[in-house]
Structure 1
Amino acid sequence: MGNQRLNQTEQTVLMTGASQGIGYAVLERLLEQGYRVVATDRCAEQLSLKLHPLLERYDQQLSFYQVDLLDHSSVEKSIAHLCNAYCFDHLVSCAGVLNLGRVSQMPLDEIKNMFDVNTFGALAVIQSVAKGMIERRSGSIVVIGSNSANTPRLNIGAYAASKSALHMLVKCTAMELAEFGIRCNLISPGSTRTDMQTQLWNESYGEKEVVQGNLEQYRLGIPLGRMAEPNDIADAVLFLMSDSARQITMHDLRVDGGATLDN
């Protein structure tokens, strides 16, 4: 089974965080390429509303379910149910939350909330899906991390820490799963045109400052001179899922226009 090459139309993908931003862009691209996708998000109403246009076009490829990564015991049950109903060739983990504030001042409950979703919620999904992949001795996992996991930043330190922990967990998981022919990789977006990005902006700080950098905020600019679009990240996801990346695992693919100098 692990040596067979399936066409994309024969492959099924489980996605988290599918209703907005990078996740939605990834979902669209997967459907365009012919994958069958089981999409999940924490808000059932928003998920249904956002995915309705896609269901009209891809009703034979797309199904969706509510999964709240904040409730880890519920996540395990929900993903186990989905794994019984579907045979997942791929997992794409896109879900994440961002609370702004200085680490030295942020309430511990807010910091814990980010770790519960960004780190432990993502890990709970990975563990559940990996069980079936191990039995089949094949599969690929792509996790959306962040370039902030490697570079300290003001006001998003707790978010960066949650992603940094996630990065190491994914790399160690990749090492454990390699013997079963399962690949695990990370994609670390930089500044990307999403709602999560624009919540960082204010009257004196916006796209221009993101691209140029800000020494007062200890921020490097973007050498390529432009922000990423969600589809830039989606294209990277498709590459790491594909057979073109069959010899790539434990990798952190930085998609940030050079903003972290590949640090």
Structure 2
Amino acid sequence: MTASPSVYLVTGAANGIGKAISSLLLQKGHQVALLDKDTKALENTLKNWPQYFQKNLSCWSVDLCNQQAMNQIIEQIESQIAPIKCLAHAAGILRLSPLLDMQCDDFHSVMTLHVNASFNLLQKVGQAMASRNHGAMVIVGSNAASTPRKNMGAYCASKAALHMLTKCFALELSEFGVRCNIVSPGSTRTLMQTQMWQQNFQEEQTIGGDLSQFRLGIPLQKIAEPMDIAQAVYFLLSDQSGHITMHDLRVDGGATLDQR
């Protein structure tokens, strides 16, 4: 019996973890819809992927904070391609600043994407999944959601809110057979990570930690690669995790000693 066509939706798909998730899904032969605000990055990603990926993907340039545009794209995917079976929500931004000095616009931009836009996305996709009594979502959070960081207050606060938002959606969607889980990366080799590095604080110092900044090191003695996170996301989207929901899977090499 041939399986019904379905699509995996990935946000933040042009770079970093979102790109790795998309690549892994395409390698596994799934139909994937890629969403990202960065049109040029999406185009560059497509150029560097194998030709055989092309038949199984569609790309959409959209600002997730634009609720109307995002809703229209989700409706188009559902009506023109296939029902959304799984969502991997990896879109994110970082604004570095001490909270005492931070501009309100920067704080609001982080909260708007990680909380407001995520609410709209999970609601819209969740409604479609609930109507079919099937589906799975994985939201890429952060180990910073439960660990205070200097100069990262907006990011930490927004990810903490995103984690609880996801768990509440998971609770409400569970009666419809829809699972919602979180993957919480630590330091991962992405543009977001390298923008935090300075002349005297780069990969080696990240691994070793910095007590002056109240940062533990990484016990596994390495930075995560985006594919490390993508593999964890794929597991939670797959039927192998069919009885797991509301879970926060920490993938940080032990950096937070798995404290929640």
Tell me which residue corresponds to 1:139.
Answer: 135
On the 8 A contact 1:21/1:195 being kept in 2, the answer is yes
**Partner secondary structure for residue 219 of structure 2:** coil
Which of 73, 77, 93 lines up with 1:97 in the alignment? 93
Q: Distance in 2 between matches of 1:218 and 1:32?
A: 40
Residue of structure 2 in register with 1:73 after alignment: 68
The residue aligned with 2:210 is 214
Aligned ranges 1:102-121 → 2 under 5 Å: 102-121=98-117
Tell me the equivalent position of 1:245: 241
CA RMSD of aligned residues (A): 1.6
Structure 2: gaps of 5 or more residues: none
2:173 alignment counterpart: 177
Secondary structure at the aligned position of 1:166 is classed as: helix
Asked if 1:49 corresponds to 2:44, the answer is yes
CA–CA separation in structure 2 for the residues paired with 1:18 and 1:231 = 13
Q: Which runs of 4+ in 1 moved over 4 A?
A: none
Select the residue among 57, 62, 66 that pairs with 1:62. 57
Find the counterpart in structure 2 of residue 20 from structure 1: 15
Listed as ranges, the matches of 1:219-234 within 5 Å are: 219-234=215-230
Shift of 1:6: 8.2
Distance 1:88 1:6, change over 3 A: farther
Q: How many residues align?
A: 258
1:204 & 1:170 partners in 2: Cα distance?
37
Identity %: 44
Q: Which moved more, 1:88-97 or 1:9-18?
A: 9-18
SS of equivalent residue, structure 1 residue 152? coil
In structure 2, what is the Cα distance between the partners aligned to 1:55 and 1:114? 34
- SS of match in other structure, 2:92: coil
CA distance in 1 between counterparts of 2:48 and 2:199 reads 34
Matched, 1:32 2:20: no
Which shows bigger deviation, 151-160 or 55-64? Answer: 55-64
Q: Which residue of 1 aligns with 2:185?
A: 189
The match for 2:78 is 83
Match among 205, 209, 212 for residue 201 of structure 2: 205
Please state whether the residue corresponding to 1:58 is helix, strand or coil: helix
Unaligned runs of at least 5 residues, structure 1: none
Contact 1:15–1:91 (CA under 8 A) maintained in structure 2: yes
Q: TM-score, normalised by structure 2?
A: 0.95
Code of the aligned partner of 2:132 = R
Q: CA deviation at 1:56?
A: 2.1
Of 118-127 and 96-105, more deviation after overlay is shown by 118-127
**TM-score between both structures, scaled by the size of structure 1:** 0.94
Report the CA distance shift for 1:6/1:194 in structure 2 as closer, same or farther (over 3 A).
farther
**Aligned-pair CA distance for 1:76:** 2.4
Q: Deviations over 1:8-62 (max 9, x none)?
A: x954101110000111111111100111100010122321222233362212211
Q: Is the 8 Å Cα contact of residues 22 and 233 (structure 1) preserved in structure 2? A: yes
Q: 1:62 to 1:55 in 2, by over 3 A?
A: farther
SS at match of 1:221: coil
